[in-house]
Amino acid sequence: MGVEELLWSVGAVQRGVFKLSSGKVSNVYVDLRKLPSHPREFKLLIDEMAREALKHRFDAVCGIAVGGLPLATGVALALSKPLVYVRRDRKDHGTQKQLEGDFEPGTKVLLLDDVATTGGSLLEALRVARAHGLAADTALVVVDREEGAREALEAEGVKLVSLTTLRKLLEVGSRA
C-alpha cells in the first residue's frame, strides 16, 4: 500500500470547504491527526518517513506542533534520534518555552511536519530553531500541497522533501 492509499484508507483526505492554517480556503483537507488512531497505518507511515529521513544528515528531529509532533516522535523513536519540538506559541506558564527538549547549540535538526501548503508553519519553526542556535537544511512532510512551501523554504536554504503531493493524492483517490 502506497502513502496515498494509506491516507485514503484511514479517511485522512476529506472533501468540503476548509480554511487551512495558511488562511487559504480549500475543497480538500488532509487531516493526518487521525493517523495515531490507526496503529497499523500509523506505523507504516512512520516507517516510510524514517526511510526518507535516513537519506539526510541530522542530529535530532524537530517536530512542529500539533500535526507534526506525533510523526516526529515516531520517526525519532524509529531512528533513535533526540526529539525537540516547536510550539505554535510560547507557553505563558512554567518555563515559557516555545522550543521544547534538550539540545546543544549547533545541533542539526530535520524539521518534520504533516502537511506543507505555503510553508508558514515550517518557516516559523525554522525561525524559532535558528534563534536557539539549531541548524536545519531539510524539512520533511507527508504531503506537499504544492502551494509555495518549497519555494519559501528554498529561499531560506532549506530543502522541502515530501512523501507525496496533493496532486498525487487526488489522482489515487479518483481511481478508487
Q: Does the model's pTM come out above 0.85?
A: yes
Any residues with CB less than 8 A from the CB of 146 and at least 6 apart, and which? 165, 166, 167
| 78: three-class secondary structure by DSSP | helix
Asked if residues 143 and 31 have their Cβ atoms less than 8 Å apart, the reply is no
Give me the pLDDT at residue 176, please: 61
Amino acid at 117: T
Please, what are the domains in the chain? 3-175 (3.40.50.2020)
- What pLDDT digit, counting tens, does each position of 14-32 carry? 998 998 888 889 999 999 9
- Pairwise CA distance, residues 152 & 146, whole Å: 11
Question: Given pLDDT bands bounded at 50, 70 and 90, which one contains residue 153?
Answer: very high
C-alpha cell at 155: 529561499
Longest Cα–Cα distance in the chain: 50
Quick: pLDDT tens for 36-89.
Answer: 999 999 999 999 999 999 999 999 999 999 999 999 999 999 999 999 999 876
Nine-digit cell string for 25 = 480556503
- The set of cell numbers assigned to 113 is 511536519
Interatomic CA distance for residues 145 and 61, integer angstroms: 22
Residue 116 CB coordination number (10 Å): 30
